C-alpha cells in the first residue's frame, strides 16, 4: 500500500519521537495479510490514540493554524487601515487611479516577483521561503535530545515546507495573506464609501482625457461581466480634475468601479494563484514517498514485523553428545613416528590428497563396502601394521568411526594408526582423537602426515 501524505507525515513524526524517546510500548498490531506500509499506518493510528503522542503530533498543525489565522486577521486589518489611511489623506476628492495604484500596486509587484522566482528556482520561490527557512531553524533548531513535541514539530515543518510541495504550500499561504489584505481593503473601502461622500477625479500633467477613457475601458469588461455598473465615456471625461459638482450616480458608479477593480484585479488573481498552489501542493505531495530504508524503519520491521518467525525446536536433542567430551590424553596436534613397513590404506581420500611416496599406486582408498572388503583381505595377507590415511579437512562422523572401529577390530587395536593428511583444525583433530578413543586406540596412534 502506498501511504497517503497524511499517513507519511504521521509516520515521520512518530519516527522522530521514537528515535529520541525509544520505541513506544503499545498493544501489538496484527500483521496477517498486511504489507509493511499498511502495518505501519495501523500501528501509527494506534499510537496516536495515546494522549501524549496525539498532543505531540497535533502541536505543530495546531500552532500553524493559530499563527496563520492571526496573520490573516492582521493582514485584513492592515488592508483596511491602509485603505482608510490613503483615503483619509485624500480629503473629499479621490484620485481614482492613484487609489487603485495604492491598493493594487504592491500586490501586483509581489505577485510578479513570486512568478519570476518561481520560474527560476522552484524549490524556494519568492522571498518568503528562504526567510521562513532561517526562521524555522532559529525557532526549531536540531537538538541532541528534543522532547516529543519538539521532535514532532521539527519533522512536521521540515516535511511540509522544505520540499517541492513545501514551496507550493508557502505559495498558497502567501497568496492567502495577500487575499486577506485585499479583502480587508475591500471591506474598508465599502465602509468608507457607505459612510462618507467622495468625488472621484483623475488628474495628469502629461496624459489627456482620452488616455483615461482608454484605461478605464480596458479595465471594465470583467466588471461588466459581473454585472457591476461601469463609468461611460462622458462620466470619465466629466471626472477630470477641475470639473466640479459630480452627480450622485457618477459617484456611485466610480465607487463600485473601484471596489470591482480591487476585487477582480487584486483579490481574484491572488485567490486563483493560491488555489493553483494548493492543487500543485496536493499533486506534489501525492508523489512523495516514505523512505522505508531509514534505519528506524528497518529496526521497526525487524522487531515488530519480522520476515521470518523466531526459530523453534521441533525435535529436541535428548542429551549431551558423547563425542563432544574430549578423551583422556587429548592435546595439541602432534606428529608421531609410524612403525616401519606400514600397510597404507586411505579412508575416503579426495583426489587432492596425495598419499606418501611408498603408498602411491598401491593404496586402497576405502570408499564403500567393496573397497572395505578389499582392504580387509589385504590386511590379512600382509599382517603388517596399518597406517590409515585420512583427509585432515574431514570431521570424524559416525560412519567413518564405524570403519575405523572395524579396521581396529580386524587388525588389532595396537596395529592401527590414523594419519591425517593435512594439519587439521583443532576441532577436527579433536574429533579424530575421539574416534580413535572409541576404536580403542591411544592418542599417540593419531598423527599427521
Q: Give Cα separations from 315 to 311, 312, 318, 319 (angstroms).
A: 12, 9, 9, 12
CB nearer to another protein: give 117 or 253: 117
Q: Does 332 bind another protein (CB under 8 A)?
A: no
Contact in structure between 417 and 385 (CB atoms under 8 Å): yes
Contact in structure between 228 and 257 (CB atoms under 8 Å): yes
Task: Please give the DSSP secondary-structure letter assigned to residue 341.
Answer: S
CB nearer to another protein: give 261 or 446: 446
Q: Does 105 bind another protein (CB under 8 A)?
A: no
CB nearer to another protein: give 317 or 332: 317
One symbol per residue from 23 to 62: x for binding another protein (CB under 8 A), - otherwise; what is it?
-------xxxxxx---x-----------------------
Cα(155)–Cα(338) distance, integer angstroms: 76
CB nearer to another protein: give 33 or 332: 33
Contact in structure between 285 and 164 (CB atoms under 8 Å): no
Q: Does 287 bind another protein (CB under 8 A)?
A: no
Largest Cα separation within the chain, whole Å, is: 147
CB nearer to another protein: give 158 or 251: 158
CB nearer to another protein: give 121 or 283: 121
**Cα 386 to the center of its chain, rounded Å:** 69
CB nearer to another protein: give 312 or 341: 312
- Size of residue set near another protein by CB under 8 A: 59
Cα(99)–Cα(167) distance, integer angstroms: 32
**Stretch (H or E) spanning 345:** strand 343-347
Instruction: Out of 321, 337, 341, 381, point to the residue binding another protein (CB under 8 A).
Output: 321
Contact in structure between 348 and 394 (CB atoms under 8 Å): yes
Q: Does 350 bind another protein (CB under 8 A)?
A: yes
Supply the Cα-derived Rg of the chain in whole angstroms: 46
Counted residue by residue, the chain has a size of 449
Task: Give residue for cell 497524511.
Answer: 6
Q: Residues near 134 by Cβ (< 8 Å), separated by ≥ 6?
A: none
Instruction: Out of 144, 312, 332, 361, point to the residue binding another protein (CB under 8 A).
Output: 312
**Angle subtended by helix axes 164-195 and 248-261, to nearest 10:** 170
For the bound state, the minimum distance from the C-beta of residue 22 to another protein, rounded and expressed in Å, comes to: 17
Q: Does 310 bind another protein (CB under 8 A)?
A: yes
Instruction: Out of 89, 194, 244, 351, point to the residue binding another protein (CB under 8 A).
Output: 351
Contact in structure between 160 and 166 (CB atoms under 8 Å): yes
Q: Does 239 bind another protein (CB under 8 A)?
A: no
For the bound state, the minimum distance from the C-beta of residue 7 to another protein, rounded and expressed in Å, comes to: 18
In 3D, which of 188, 187, 202 has the Cα closest to residue 246?
Answer: 202
Instruction: Out of 367, 383, 409, 444, point to the residue binding another protein (CB under 8 A).
Output: 367
Q: Does 397 bind another protein (CB under 8 A)?
A: yes
Looking at 147-155, 264-272, 334-342, 421-429, which segment touches another protein (CB under 8 A)? 421-429
Task: Give residue for cell 483623475.
Answer: 202
Cα(145)–Cα(57) distance, integer angstroms: 17
CB nearer to another protein: give 164 or 413: 164
Q: Sheet holding 364-366: strands in order across?
A: 364-366, 343-347, 386-390, 416-420, 446-448
For the bound state, the minimum distance from the C-beta of residue 415 to another protein, rounded and expressed in Å, comes to: 24
Could you tell me whether strands 386-390 and 446-448 are parallel, antiparallel, or unpaired per DSSP bridges?
unpaired
Instruction: Out of 197, 325, 360, 425, point to the residue binding another protein (CB under 8 A).
Output: 425
For the bound state, the minimum distance from the C-beta of residue 10 to another protein, rounded and expressed in Å, comes to: 21
CB nearer to another protein: give 122 or 283: 122
For the bound state, the minimum distance from the C-beta of residue 309 to another protein, rounded and expressed in Å, comes to: 4
Q: Give Cα separations from 112 to 83, 98, 211 (angstroms).
A: 22, 20, 25
Looking at 64-72, 218-226, 256-264, 348-356, which segment touches another protein (CB under 8 A)? 348-356
Give me 414's grid cell.
595396537
CB nearer to another protein: give 318 or 361: 318
Cα(288)–Cα(280) distance, integer angstroms: 13
Site for another protein in 118-177 (CB under 8 A): 120-124, 127, 130, 162-164
Q: Does 360 bind another protein (CB under 8 A)?
A: no
Q: Does 317 bind another protein (CB under 8 A)?
A: yes
In 3D, which of 42, 21, 293 has the Cα closest to residue 152?
Answer: 21
Q: Does 283 bind another protein (CB under 8 A)?
A: no
Instruction: Out of 308, 328, 340, 361, point to the residue binding another protein (CB under 8 A).
Output: 308
CB nearer to another protein: give 367 or 382: 367
Residues that bind another protein (CB under 8 A): 30-35, 39, 113, 116-117, 120-124, 127, 130, 162-164, 292-293, 295, 298-299, 302, 305-318, 321, 323, 348, 350-351, 367-369, 395-399, 402, 425, 427-428, 430-431
Amino acid at each position: 500500500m502506498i501511504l497517503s501524505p497524511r499517513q507519511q507525515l504521521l509516520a515521520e513524526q512518530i519516527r522522530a519521537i521514537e528515535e529520541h524517546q525509544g520505541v513506544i510500548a503499545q498493544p501489538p498490531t496484527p500483521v496477517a495479510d498486511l504489507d509493511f506500509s499498511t502495518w505501519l499506518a495501523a500501528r501509527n493510528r494506534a499510537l496516536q490514540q495515546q494522549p501524549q503522542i496525539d498532543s505531540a503530533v497535533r502541536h505543530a498543525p495546531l500552532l500553524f493554524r493559530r499563527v496563520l489565522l492571526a496573520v490573516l486577521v492582521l493582514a485584513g486589518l492592515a488592508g483596511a487601515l491602509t485603505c482608510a489611511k490613503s483615503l483619509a489623506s485624500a480629503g473629499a476628492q479621490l484620485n481614482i487611479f492613484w487609489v487603485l495604484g495604492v491598493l493594487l500596486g504592491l500586490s501586483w509587484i509581489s505577485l510578479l516577483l513570486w512568478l519570476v522566482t518561481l520560474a527560476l528556482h522552484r524549490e524556494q520561490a519568492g522571498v518568503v521561503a528562504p526567510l521562513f527557512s532561517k526562521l524555522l531553524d532559529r525557532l526549531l533548531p536540531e537538538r541532541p535530545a528534543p522532547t516529543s513535541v519538539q521532535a514532532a514539530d521539527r519533522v512536521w515543518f521540515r516535511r511540509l515546507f522544505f520540499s517541492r510541495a513545501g514551496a507550493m504550500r508557502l505559495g498558497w499561504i502567501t497568496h492567502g495573506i495577500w487575499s486577506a489584505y485585499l479583502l480587508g481593503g475591500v471591506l474598508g473601502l465599502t465602509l468608507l464609501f457607505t459612510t462618507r461622500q467622495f468625488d472621484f477625479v483623475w488628474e495628469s500633467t502629461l496624459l489627456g482625457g482620452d488616455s483615461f477613457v482608454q484605461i478605464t475601458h480596458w479595465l471594465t469588461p470583467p466588471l461588466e461581466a459581473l454585472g457591476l455598473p461601469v463609468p461611460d465615456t462622458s462620466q470619465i471625461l466629466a471626472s477630470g480634475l477641475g470639473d466640479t459638482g459630480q452627480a450622485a450616480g457618477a459617484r456611485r458608479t466610480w465607487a463600485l468601479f473601484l471596489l470591482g477593480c480591487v476585487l477582480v484585479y487584486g483579490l481574484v488573481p491572488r485567490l486563483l494563484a493560491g488555489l493553483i498552489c494548493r492543487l500543485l501542493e496536493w499533486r506534489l505531495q501525492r508523489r512523495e514517498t516514505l523512505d522505508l530504508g531509514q534505519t528506524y524503519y528497518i529496526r521497526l520491521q525487524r522487531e515488530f514485523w519480522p520476515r521470518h518467525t523466531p526459530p523453534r525446536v521441533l525435535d529436541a536433542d535428548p542429551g549431551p553428545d558423547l563425542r563432544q567430551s574430549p578423551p583422556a590424553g587429548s592435546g595439541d596436534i602432534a606428529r608421531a613416528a609410524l612403525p616401519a613397513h606400514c600397510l597404507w590404506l586411505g579412508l575416503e581420500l579426495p583426489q587432492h590428497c596425495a598419499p606418501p611416496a611408498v603408498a602411491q599406486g598401491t593404496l586402497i582408498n576405502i570408499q564403500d563396502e567393496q573397497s572395505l572388503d578389499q582392504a580387509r583381505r589385504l590386511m590379512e595377507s600382509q599382517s603388517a601394521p596399518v597406517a590409515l590415511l585420512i583427509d585432515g579437512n574431514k570431521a570424524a562422523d559416525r560412519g567413518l568411526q564405524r570403519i575405523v572401529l572395524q579396521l581396529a577390530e580386524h587388525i588389532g587395536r595396537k596395529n592401527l594408526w590414523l594419519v591425517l593428511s593435512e594439519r587439521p583444525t583443532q576441532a577436527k583433530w579433536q574429533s579424530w582423537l575421539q574416534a580413535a578413543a572409541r576404536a580403542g586406540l591411544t592418542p599417540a596412534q593419531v598423527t599427521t602426515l
